[in-house]
Amino acid sequence: MTQKILFVCQGNSIRSIMAEAIFNHRCKEDCKSKSAGTLPITRIDPKTKKVLQEAEIPLVKQKPSPLTYEKIISSKKVVLMSKNLPNFPELTPKKLIIQWNIADPLGTPVQEFRKTRDKITRKVKELIKKLR
């Protein structure tokens, strides 16, 4: 059975895109993830692309997209990348929502993007372990 995970942040240009790419890269056979933003912007941040490329993690057809009801209900688990995002108790049972507190590195030097990537990688590894 395929585990469907949805990563959500505000702009869907840095954190949730990173999480989607890292998750799909590490959990290939029985897992699939998507990402979405509550206020998605038009493109992936270039620093996101750079730090994923450095780690040899491919971005495969990913682009910022809006959070929709369909994305939420079709996911087994919803991972909110920060505390300032809305919780969706009316859409998804609380037990399916995972709250990560990862600061948005928007506007910071590339070193902060690397720290964010590394933190997300650790959390993704833990999540994959729990799913199996």
pLDDT tens per residue across span 23-64: 999 987 778 899 999 999 999 999 999 999 999 999 878 899
Mean pLDDT of 87-115: 83
Dihedrals phi, psi of 97, to nearest 5 degrees? -95, 130
Q: How far is CA 98 from CA 8, 12, 68, 85, 95, in A?
A: 10, 17, 17, 12, 8
Q: What pLDDT band is residue 85 in, cutting at 50, 70 and 90?
A: low
User: What pLDDT score does 95 carry?
Assistant: 60
* H-helix or E-strand spanning residue 64: none
Q: Is 115 exposed, middle or buried (0-12, 13-18, 19+ CB in 10 A)?
A: middle
- Sign, CA dihedral 121-46-6-101, equals positive
Q: Are 5 and 79 in contact (CB under 8 A)?
A: yes
Percentage of the chain beyond pLDDT 90 is 61
The residue count of the chain comes to: 132
Query: Hey, what domains does the chain have and what are their CATH numbers?
Result: 3-131 (3.40.50.2300)
Nearest to 30 by CA among 57, 5, 3, 7: 3
User: What pLDDT score does 15 carry?
Assistant: 97
Predicted TM-score (pTM) above 0.75: yes
Q: What pLDDT band is residue 96 in, cutting at 50, 70 and 90?
A: confident
Mean pLDDT of 66-81: 89
